[in-house]
Structure 1
Amino acid sequence: MERENEAGDRKELYHYQQEDIDAIFEKFEGKPDNYHLLYQLPTGGGKTVIFSEIARRYIEKYNRKVLVLTHRIELSKQTSQMLKSFGVKNTVIDSGVKDLPYNNDYSCYVAMVETLNNRLKDKKFHMDYVGLVIVDEAHYNSFRKLFTYFKNSLFLGVTATPLSSNIDLPMYETYNELIVGEPIQSLIDKKFLAKAVMYGYDVELTSLKLGINGDYTVGSSDELYSRSSMQDLLLQSYESRAKGKKTLIFNNGINTSLYVYETFKAAGLPIKHLDNRTPENDRKKILSWFHKTPDAILTSVSILTTGFDEPTVEAIILNRATRSLTLYFQMIGRGSRKLPEKDVFTVIDLGNNAQRFGLWNDPVDWQYIFKHPEQFLESIRTDAEIESYHVYAMTDEVRAKFAKTIDVTFDIEEEFRKAAEEKHKPKTVIEHSIRQHAFMCIENAETISEARKLAKLLDPDIEYRVKQYAKLLAKTTKNYREWLIEDYKNRLTVMIGRIFNKYQAGDEEPLELKKL
């Protein structure tokens, strides 16, 4: 988010970046040495540029050293390069640095948390002379272990999402206050970020399990997203919304990502897979291929959520559900970089994530989230609540297969009410629904075999109707609901066979449905 000035030798800041830097220095004025400030700015807003200028100005103004903390080696290297471009003489403290004399030539250090923590713990380094500590990706909690070594330093935490990755260690306990930067919609309006065109598909997530970290487990995600129905949905959504676009697919498990790779490869699409076990050389080759190939597809597992910058990405597919607001913004943010020929990018959501958190560019009350994280996390909608609002809508492709049927809808709630009024058993509702589905299949087919093939296309509608029915029954178990769905499909197959010949001979009419 920086630009060169006419001389080409010095970075120039955008107006909103300059304003935020001024506001941060104003907050520092007159504060005690151990004052901790948190700064929020969306992914793509130029956080590294901003804190590089803060480091330069702080060193110039106070003649004290600065330390920048990161959590990944790639981020350390990128940060070091950016600081150099601002004229800040710095060095990266990696595993090769065993000694660090006080009177060195560097005015700034960039360090990974674990490496620095080991050096400080072993008393190899003494860094109590550092005046300002900048914490990148401050929502991670690994940084807290270092705070004890910098009791007389100012702290500036920088993050796109001021919500701690650990609910037991809220950010308001670490930072005195929060400064909120430019919101996403404003950055889009001012042409600093590309606009997200989002497509959501209602997905059944009740089989997912929550882990101790508060997010869905890899095992339950792998089980759901490796199913052929989910792989089909992924491929169909890609082909209808993102075909030919440079695409990143985010998954929750390595098994899922490998399934995605095989599915897309079998479809003849240019795809590669990447995870944290991929050797460094292979990773470089894959990322180079991704950069150079206009319609490349990269399926990965979490590894590209931070420290990865590929502005040419045109489509993001969330092939997973998450209850992490941070991860939600990080994944979509990978596609938000603006280019002269790129004003918009596509987001395909296959995890009900937008229904959980809102659209990517919706306003967010970060001050409330910072001050009341427990209440915010409790207010996140459950999957059952989200799915209670899902309404099944037949796709145009499936609807075309039932062209001879005037009305393919069936109001379970209304039928349930009528059955209660007429003192019929609730199961008559399911019987009427099965009968309607049977006639839909029969009047659009020439043979019993064709009719039964059409019945397979009704699986999503059947599942939706049974769920509505089960909800009206009040207390039902998951096993009972699953049995109801299977029983419905079996009875539909039997009914098609029983009435097909009568219907073809003109003895059965769909109107009989209305007489029941």
Structure 2
Amino acid sequence: ATPLSSNITLPMHENYSELIVGDTIQSLIDKGFLAKATTYSYDVGLTSLKVGINGDYTVKSSDDLYTNMAMQEKLLHAYTEKSLGKKTLIFNNGINTSLYVYETFREAGFPIKHLDNTNNADERKDILTWFKKTPDAILTSVGILTTGFDEPTVETIILNRATKSLTLYFQMIGRGSRKLENKNTFTVIDLGNNAARFGLWNEAINWQHIFKSPEFYLENLRDDAEIETHFKYIMPAELRQKFLKTVIITFDVDEEHKLAIKFNERSKIVLEKSMDQHAAMCVDNTETLQEAKSLAKELHADIESRVKRFSNCLSQCSKNYREWLMDDYIQKLTLLIGKKYREKIMNEAD
């Protein structure tokens, strides 16, 4: 239990006068009572999410985000990368999202079942029995398993949702923390920037302060826009293989912007340098102009990340301006690839 109510409108200090704090999670891990969590966080843009009257993200806005193809692919990638073959429990904010997850994993050939509060007692019993007996089982659910559920063989918890509730954050991860003779650790896959918002599950927390001043704590949580400013794009391994002739594929937008200011240059020179690098990457790793242009399309996520970081460097940057920067970047990159390809042909002819 935590001293922060799961409902922002019902602070616990209004009903209780004193808080007794037990051992910390890290202490319980050190004493051998809980398994140690290894957390893997995948950056997710959450600015489209809406907050409801209870202080947490609405089911509707969460469903809209987490049912889209990009998020389903990110979830599947995270599972295969960090949890393949492990007994996995997936938490979602809405039933619709959970059903999408079920279909995505089923079509990929993984053993998965869906459980929500519309299942009757017999269905729930059958599903949980299957989950218990199947070594590599995947169970996707909504809030029904956050409390009152105990399956110690769970090896991975996937937070396929974002929450502003510290209580819920602890409850979800706690479903995987039971220790067994052959289980000292478990995996947490975070697809909701929750660790960035609250800190890691085992980190120390001042519960007395939260109990006395829950509003202050909630108001000072890192907001989604601020969290996103720290996102760093990491090129997927399979895409990196297409740029083997390029040694350096990263580009530090923040550092380049500082240099532009230092030398009194236009801020747009940052994006121009970035385009030059991207164009060179595409031309150097292909044989034809068409191949180079096609390869450039696979850099969309990298371009989007760079443009977003650049816009964050500016004192004022509207969403419309950022979208224009993105379109402008792609158009100019295409032209620059053509220019560099012609230069490449001329150099080879010489």
> TM-score per shorter chain, which class?
over 0.9
Q: Which residue of 2 aligns with 1:165?
A: 6
Q: Aligned partners of 1:310, 1:340: CA distance in 2, in Å?
A: 14
Pairing 1:493–2:334 present: yes
User: Over alpha carbons, which structure has the higher Rg?
Assistant: 1
Relative contact order, CA 8 A, sep 6+: which one is greater? 2
Specify which of 183, 196, 203 is matched with residue 342 of structure 1.
183
SS of residue in 2 equivalent to 1:435 = helix
The answer as to whether partners of 2:246 and 2:285 remain within 8 angstroms in 1 is yes
Number of the residue aligned with 2:170: 329
Offset of residue 262 of structure 1:
1.5
Specify the alignment match of 2:99 in structure 1.
258
CA shift at 1:432, angstroms? 2.6
* Equivalent residues in 2 for 1:295-334, closer than 5 Å: 295-334=136-175
| Identity among equivalent pairs (%) | 64
Q: Counterpart of 2:323?
A: 482
Matched, 1:368 2:209: yes
Q: How far does the alpha carbon of each residue in 1:383-417 deviate from its partner, in whole angstroms, 9 at most, with x for none?
A: 12222222223344433321211222223234334
What residue is the counterpart of 1:206 in the other structure? Answer: 47
Q: Structure 1 residues 263 and 452, CA, compared in 2 at 3 Å: closer, same or farther?
A: farther
TM-score, structure 2 length as denominator? 0.93
**Letter aligned with residue 346 of structure 1:** T
2:286 pairs with 1:445: yes
The residue aligned with 2:302 is 461
Instruction: Tell me: CA distance 1:505–1:234, structure 2 relative to 1, closer, same or farther (3 Å).
Output: farther
> What is the count of residue pairs matched by the alignment?
349
2:127 matched to which residue of 1?
286
2: CA distance between counterparts of 1:422 and 1:323? 42
> Paired residue for 2:84?
243
How far, CA to CA, are the matches of 1:422 and 1:368 in structure 2? Answer: 46
Root-mean-square deviation (Å): 2.1
Higher mean C-alpha deviation, range 436-445 or range 484-493: 484-493
Mapping of residues 400-419 of structure 1, within 5 Å = 400-419=241-260
Other structure's SS at 1:345 match: strand
Say whether 1:220 aligns with 2:65.
no
Aligned residue in 2 for 1:179: 20
| Alpha-carbon distance between aligned partners in 2 of 1:463 and 1:406, rounded to the nearest angstrom | 21
2:117 maps to 276
How far apart in 1 are the matches of 2:333 and 2:46? 26
Is the alpha carbon distance of 1:420 and 1:179 closer, same or farther for their aligned partners in structure 2, counting shifts above 3 Å? closer
Unaligned runs of 5+ in 2: none
Report the AA paired with residue 254 of structure 1: I
* SS in structure 2 at match of 1:406: coil
SS in 1 for 2:19: strand
More strand by share: 1
> Structure 1 residues 445 and 395, CA, compared in 2 at 3 Å: closer, same or farther?
same
Shift, 1:354, TM fit: 0.6
Structure 2 Cα separation of the partners of residues 192 and 337 of structure 1: 8
More divergent stretch after superposition (277-286 vs 195-204): 277-286
- In structure 2, the residue corresponding to 1:249 is in which secondary structure? strand
By how many angstroms is 1:485 displaced? 2.1
Letter in 2 for 1:190: K
For residue 498 of structure 1, report the CA deviation from its aligned partner: 4.5
> How many Å separate the matches in 2 of 1:324 and 1:307?
18
Q: SS at the partner of 1:370? A: helix
CA distance in 2, matches of 1:493, 1:229: 24
Matched, 1:230 2:71: yes
**Which segments of 5 or more consecutive residues in structure 1 lack a partner in the other structure?**
1-159, 509-516
